[in-house]
Copies of this chain bind each other. A is one copy, B any other.
Amino acid sequence: MKKVLENKSKKMTRLREAAYELFTSNGIPNTRIDDIVKKAGIAKGTFYLYCKDKYDLVDKVILRKTTDIINNAMKAIAENQNAQDTDFLENVIVFADYLLEHFKRDKKLLALIYKNLSWDLYEKALTFEELGTAEKTFIEHFTKIGGDSEVAKQRLFIIVSMVGAVCYNSIVLEMPYPIDLIKPELYRSVTRILVQ
């Protein structure tokens, strides 16, 4: 009984990981269900016991990868706070820098996430604890230093959009600047947007 459940969970993991490899290497349209199940070592019919279709698996893969990274980014802030007395602005930069450095090493993942943003997926993501917590923490800090919570949300949205787009262009499209060159101006922009 317990073994069966474990087995199912393992199969789903194998599916997700096989799909991730193939999606990032060959692109989603060039990845066939056949390829995924072959790599995962399961039968084609089994695939449909776990996923509605290919795009359901795309969502599952992205959701899992995204929450993992956000989780780690928040740990990075926590570690930073333990080490020294930090302020709000620094935390935002640390958070962004964690993501940026991660994507620098894994540009395929950034491409995958960025190309498959959708309202549906975003809604699912926010129901995950990690994302909600990150947003709430940001707003709390922002109001603590005298800001309005509505303005906080809007600036957060602008910063996330900006950092995301710059990373995508610099890291994935490799244009027009290498990410390390543009980084100082990018963080300056974050700062300029946040400070009163």
Which residues of A pack against B, CB within 8 Å? Answer: 29, 115, 117-119, 122, 151, 153-155, 157-158, 161-162, 164-166, 169, 173-177, 181-182, 185-186, 189, 192-193
> Does the CB pair B175–A119 fall under 8 Å?
yes
Measured CB to CB, the closest approach of chain B to A54, in angstroms, equals: 12
Chain B residue contacts of A192, Cβ below 8 A: 189, 192-193
Measured CB to CB, the closest approach of chain B to A176, in angstroms, equals: 6
Secondary structure class of chain A's binding surface, majority of residues: helix
CA distance in complex: A20, B172 (Å): 26
Number of copies of chain A assembled together: 4
> Does the CB pair A193–B189 fall under 8 Å?
yes
Give 8 A-B pairs besides A157-B177, A158-B162 with Cβ atoms closer than 8 angstroms: A115-B115, A118-B173, A119-B173, A119-B174, A122-B173, A154-B182, A158-B166, A158-B182
Measured CB to CB, the closest approach of chain B to A163, in angstroms, equals: 9
Chain B residue contacts of A119, Cβ below 8 A: 173-175
Task: Decide: A154 near B185, CB < 8 A? Known: A162-B161, A162-B165.
Answer: yes
- 3 A-B pairs with least C-beta separation: A165-B165, A162-B162, A161-B165
Task: Decide: A176 near B161, CB < 8 A? Known: A151-B185, A193-B189, A193-B193.
Answer: no
Chain B: which residue is nearest A122 at the CB level?
Answer: B175
Choose from B117, B118, B185 the contact partner of A158 (Cβ within 8 Å).
B185
CA distance in complex: A155, B186 (Å): 8
Task: Decide: A158 near B186, CB < 8 A? Known: A164-B165, A192-B192, A193-B193.
Answer: yes
